[in-house]
Structure 1
Amino acid sequence: MTISLLLACVWALLATGIALGPQRFHWPAAWVLIALGVPLVGWVTYENGPLLGLIALAGGMSVLRWPVIYLFRALRGPRDHAGE
């Protein structure tokens, strides 16, 4: 197992531990997890190939699903319901 995969597993365990903690820590911890996870996914992809990189990305997105949902909502833009 490469160091990048080992650190990705540690990241997942850390994210799970944070999820079990008090809810007031979730959003600040999510920003830290994102800041650590993005370069980690790049490192996993670089060392182990695109398939394991996509698996690591999917795992991170499943743990941090609400920031991803909010990102997609922001990218979609405001929805005008006046025409309905």
Structure 2
Amino acid sequence: MMLVWLLIAWVFASAAVAMLPMRRQYVPGVILLLAAPVLIVMVGIQFGWVFALLGLAAFVSMFRNPLRYIAARLRGEHPEIPE
């Protein structure tokens, strides 16, 4: 049951971070970005791989722009960051 509360808190925290101005989103956004895979693995262990895949799909959908940026940086490109 504790995992469910952690997931709910993560969702509310990500919604709150999304409402911040772009320059203030970086630090909490990175924390949420790093916490999500840990939570998804915990969901997979406790509830099964189907729910983990659904969580992964939601995570990729929510963080598609930061994930694109990270992928571009790993390819050696220098994408622009919005102000």
How high is the TM-score relative to the length of structure 1?
0.75
CA distance in 1, matches of 2:30, 2:76: 24
Say whether the 8 Å CA contact 1:8–1:56 is kept in structure 2.
no
Bigger RCO of structures 1 and 2 (CA < 8 A, at least 6 apart): 1
Quote how far apart the aligned CAs of 1:39 are. 0.7
Q: Which runs of 5+ in 2 are unaligned?
A: 78-83
CA distance in 1, matches of 2:52, 2:41: 7
Paired amino acid for 1:48: F
Q: How does 1:21-32 map to 2 (within 5 A)?
A: 21-32=20-31
CA distance in 2, matches of 1:23, 1:71: 17
Paired residue total: 77
CA distance in 2, matches of 1:61, 1:3: 24
Quote how far apart the aligned CAs of 1:74 are. 4.0
The range that moved more, 35-44 or 2-11, is 2-11
Quote how far apart the aligned CAs of 1:61 are. 1.6
Say whether the 8 Å CA contact 1:18–1:29 is kept in structure 2.
yes
* Secondary structure at 1:28 match in 2: helix
In the other structure, the counterpart of 1:82 is: none
